[in-house]
């Protein structure tokens, strides 16, 4: 169970990372619509697991891999935004959130019947 501090930091990171991805990282996204669906922060706030939902491109795992390659650059942008709120900017790891694809697949299966 996350502490209140972890929850607050997660919400802060989710909002700021969403804005950074939309404004600064369009070249990495390759024209895909990317949404930050969830951010999980470890108890010591040193690592954040960022879950991305990717729309509009079939090579979703490649896009997430590109975000992992550019995580230092993204962390730098994030540091500029949260420098007055966090002492240490957590290390970022990006993961694919495929829950919406799973839901879409179930809906398609139900429509077939």
What does the pLDDT look like over 37-71, one tens digit per residue? 999 999 999 999 999 999 888 888 999 999 999 99
Domain that holds residue 16: 4-112
**pLDDT band, very low/low/confident/very high, at 113 (cuts 50, 70, 90):** low
- Residue by residue, DSSP assigns the chain as ---HHHHHHHHHHHHHHHHHHHHT-HHHHTT-EEEEEEEEE-TTSSEEEEEEEEES-S-HHHHHHHHHHTHHHHHHHHHHHHTTT-SSPPEEEEEE--HHHHHHHHHHHHHH-
State pTM to two decimals. 0.85
- Any idea what the CATH number is for the domain that residue 17 is in? 3.30.300.20
Count of domains for the chain: 1
């Amino acid at each position: 169970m996350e502490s209140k501090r972890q929850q607050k930091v997660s919400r802060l990171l989710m909002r700021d990372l969403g804005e950074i991805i939309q404004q600064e990282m369009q070249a990495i996204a390759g024209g895909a619509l990317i949404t930050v669906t969830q951010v999980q922060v470890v108890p010591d706030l040193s690592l954040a697991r960022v879950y991305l939902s990717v729309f509009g491109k079939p090579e979703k795992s490649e896009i997430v891999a590109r975000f992992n390659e550019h995580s230092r650059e993204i962390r730098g942008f994030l540091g500029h935004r949260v420098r007055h709120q966090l002492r240490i900017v957590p290390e970022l790891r990006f993961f694919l959130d495929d829950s919406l694809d799973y839901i879409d697949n179930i809906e398609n299966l139900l429509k077939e019947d």
